[in-house]
Amino acid sequence: MTAHGAADPATERPHGAQHTAAEFAAVYGAAPTGTWAAPGRVNLIGEHTDYNDGFVMPLALPHTTLAAASARTDGVLRLHSGGADGGIVELRIDALRPEPDPQAGWAAYPAGVVWAMREAGLPVGGADLHYDSTVPTGAGLSSSAALEVVTALALNGLYALGQEPQQLARLAQRAENAFVGVPCGIMDQTAAACCTAGHALFLDTRALTRRQIPFDLAGEGLRLLVVDTRVKHELGDGAYAERRAGCERGARALGVRALRDVPYAHLPEALAGLADDPVTQALVRHIVTENHRVEEVVALLDAGRTRAIGPLLTTGHASLRDDFKISCRELDLAVDTANAAGALGARMTGGGFGGSAIVLVEEADAPAVGAAVTEAFAAAGHAAPRIFEAVPSAGAHRVE
Ligand code: ADP
Ligand code: MG
């Protein structure tokens, strides 16, 4: 499980509250007031549904971003990360302006959180922050949400803002949308803020109602493997906005507020109504079937039939590959190889065009399935994937 004060199992790097606090002291010359953690996530099912007001089901990873922090009285924000080059970034909080510029650098994420809090009228002041993370960046595991949410939680603590986890997630999303300029939905930030150990989080992204679904993989003799393909195809950024615009086009054509409002039972009529626009038709088919798959997975988990969700993961992958068209050959290879080697099911997870896949597998089969994927990548001439276990872990919390 997560190791505050131990080595990260994936990287063997020291990682923990004490280590992060010591680094903070080395950077800023004094001990921090506190240290907070927020996790990366994988999404079990419900992909690209969050900006369609739909259903998602993420779980938090044991990999965390830690923030050691102290308040400052002079309105200055100083940011430093062990995972980023370039030393301390120093900003004045009253000079923060939304800057939808992907080149703004990593500091835009935490600076955006301060900006969003001030925009919301919260009495947040300056701070010194130092980050140390074991969440792989750009791997579809949402290191950006971990960075935002840990910042929001630290400031919430330092300034006694009294915000609930879901409110912090909202502020973090606002930072990413309006300040960093990434039009993401609410899933990633909610996962980082609200997940609990041993559970997957069933989230209705319209009502923002949440249900913690017990997901005791180890107790059932199962494993959920993450295959980080280590690739990120350039296509990704523009394609996300394009898919999102396509979904909005579909909702308009069907006369609904969001694709969430197309019931699964009405899918045939909806598709017939989009017959002259096959691109939009395929996007709508993915979203409507994907929302239905989330509900089916919830029903199966409620019935204690965890193994039976495997085929739904694989069907979801096919939908993302064929209808939403956001997979890539590395993700397809990971999924197909895992399934051929005896996995119960597998799918890409996250935004697509690279990043990670998840594989549900019997505990006894996990080593062979992992080895088969590694061999297939070597045989295809791809760089070795990074394979690790997704143990459903805690959401954001104070560690010291
Ligand atoms: P993902 O969220 O899937 O990991 P993104 O592209 O959304 O991928 O976010 C990755 C970016 O977030 C990095 O390029 C970096 O700018 C920033 N980031 C995430 N974690 C850290 C960290 N610990 N330190 C500095 N920057 C980070
Ligand atoms: Mg991200």
The pLDDT tens digits for 253-300 are 999 999 999 999 999 999 999 999 999 999 999 999 999 999 999 999
Residue 5 pLDDT exceeds 70: no
Q: Residue 384 Cα, ligand 2 centroid: separation in angstroms?
A: 22
CA of 63 to the centre of ligand 2 (A): 15
The span from the CA of 68 to the CA of 378, in Å, is 40
Determine the residue type at 202.
Answer: F
Given a cut of 80, is residue 191 above it in pLDDT? Answer: yes
**Residue 133, CA distances (Å) to 17, 22, 32, 202, 224 in order:** 11, 14, 17, 26, 22
Nearest residue by C-alpha to atom 16 in ligand 1: 106
Residues of the chain within CATH 3.30.230.10 domain(s) are 9-215
- Give the span between the Cα atoms of 277 and 154, in whole angstroms: 47
**Residue pLDDT, tens place only, 16-68:** 899 999 999 999 999 999 999 999 999 999 999 999 999 999 999 999 999 99
Rounded to whole angstroms, how far apart are CA atoms 210 and 72?
Answer: 35
Judge if the beta carbon of residue 189 lies within 6 A of ligand 1. no
Is ligand 1 within 6 A of the CB of residue 179?
Answer: no
Ligand 1: centre distance to CA 137 (Å) = 5
Instruction: Kindly calculate the radius of gyration of the chain based on its CA atoms and give it in whole angstroms.
Output: 21
Judged against a pLDDT cut of 60, whether residue 8 lies above it is answered with no
Mean pLDDT of 223-242: 89
Cα 357 to Cα 330: distance, rounded to the nearest angstrom: 9
Ligand 1 center from residue 143 Cα (angstroms):
5
Q: How does pLDDT run across 348-359, given as a tens digit for each residue?
A: 999 999 999 999
Contacts of 385 by beta carbon, 8 Å cutoff, 6+ apart: 227, 228, 229, 230, 330, 334, 373, 374, 377
What's the pLDDT band for 100 if we cut at 50, 70, 90?
Answer: low
Cα 165–chain centre separation: 16
Specify the DSSP class assigned to residue 176: I
pLDDT of 99 over the 80 cut: no
Asked if residue 1 has pLDDT above 80, the reply is no
Q: Which residues are catalytic?
A: 188
Mutate to test the pocket of ligand 1, among 65, 89, 129, 147 (most ligand atoms within 8 A of CB): 147
Q: What is the mean pLDDT of the chain?
A: 94
CATH no., domain 218-389: 3.30.70.890
Q: Which ligand is nearest to the CA of 133?
A: 1
The arithmetic mean of pLDDT across residues 210-227, rounded, is 97
Q: At a CB cut-off of 8 Å and minimum separation 6, what does 328 contact?
A: 229, 231, 233, 352, 353, 354
Check if CATH label 3.40.50.150 holds for domain 9-215: no
| pLDDT per residue as tens digits for the range 293-335 | 999 999 999 999 999 999 999 999 999 999 999 999 999 999 9
Nearest CA, atom 26, ligand 1: 106
pLDDT digits (tens, 9 = 90+) for 351-395: 999 999 999 999 999 999 999 999 999 999 999 999 999 999 999
**pTM exceeds 0.75 for this model:** yes
The C-alpha atoms of residue 199 and residue 59 are separated, in whole angstroms, by 7
Closest CA to 149 of 112, 196, 101: 112
Outline which parts of the chain fall under CATH 3.30.70.890. 218-389
